[in-house]
Structure 1
Amino acid sequence: MSAEHDAEQKAGRKLAVAVAMLLFTSHRLPGVRGYELRRRLGKNYLKIIDMLNRRLNPIGLRVKIVFEGRGDKEHGQEDFDKARFFITLNEPLTLSDIVAAGWRIDEVAILSATLALLYPRGGRATYGEVMELLEAKFPKWRVESALEKFIRRGYLYKDEDNILHIGWRTYAEIDQRELAKAITELHQQKSYKRS
């Protein structure tokens, strides 16, 4: 009985360490790399993350793993070690939740349109192409302000060649399939109304 109790306590301590590592930012970017979790929690850190997910699920949270390659291939131990682990919401926010969180509707539209342009192009496009697309619907100052905000927050990344890329936070927080589905449905609704 004592050995079982000790094992439970040890697992509880490891869960607490995992939560602390995932919630409290110690780097410029939130989240933790897999190798950091392995170093602190041991080689079975993925089992601890799985246990943590089971605890977080009832309150609408989960640990999301963002891999560097971002492909849909099978991932080995080395991929998990390089991946970044985050605590995120289980379900996407509703529009009213997004507004309550401090986002403006036009900012959401600008980010959505930017991502709709970037995803089919392999996650990158020139800053000028993005500006040209967005200036058709929004004032230039609003577009510039929103893009700079998204770059600062990590949703987008601008390299030295003035190319915009999808940022780490987009991969962590935005479901590409859900965004594509929403854009497709919106396009179909507009097509239906025209006919």
Structure 2
Amino acid sequence: MPGSEYTIEVSAAIQDLAGNRPADATNWSFRTQIPQLVATSPTADALDAAGDGRITATFDTPILSSILATADAATVFAQNEAVLLRDEPIFDAESNTLVIQLADGFKPGTRYDVLLNGLLGGLLRAGGEGDFSWQFQTPVPILITTSPEGEVDATVSETIEATFSSRIDAELLSAETVQVTREGKAQIPTDL
């Protein structure tokens, strides 16, 4: 098992074929390598994380994958609130990569904190360095173009467009968050 200490004791009662025995028991111990986190996606401290909510953590050696069945094996927080994972995290032993998929993907302009139980690295990791963790942020969408834009004699069809630098949170689009006025009177937008 990764990140573990083993002690072996050979009893003095063991003898060879001639009946010879050691004077005392023989002891020795060793430790297995503690897995280290070598790469993450999105990368640690990224301010422009994109994607569909897939998070990966790559280790230099295999982890204690039986821990993945526990509820606290991997926790992802968005703005300090735990988010729902689509499935139990999956460990690919061939690449030593842990894959976590958020149920609802990434939200724009949001800080994410990823916390992996230290026991994934064995008892020595859990009792020493503790949990694995990193954070990243998705970009804040910036309005880059509008149509029509600043025109005096604009021909307004039924469509007014706004283009953003990155994906916006569609759940926040509503008549309350997008306001259109014509000659000072509120117009109710449709098809947001």
**TM band (smaller chain):** under 0.3
Q: Which has the higher contact order (CA 8 A, sep 6+)?
A: 2
Higher strand share: 2
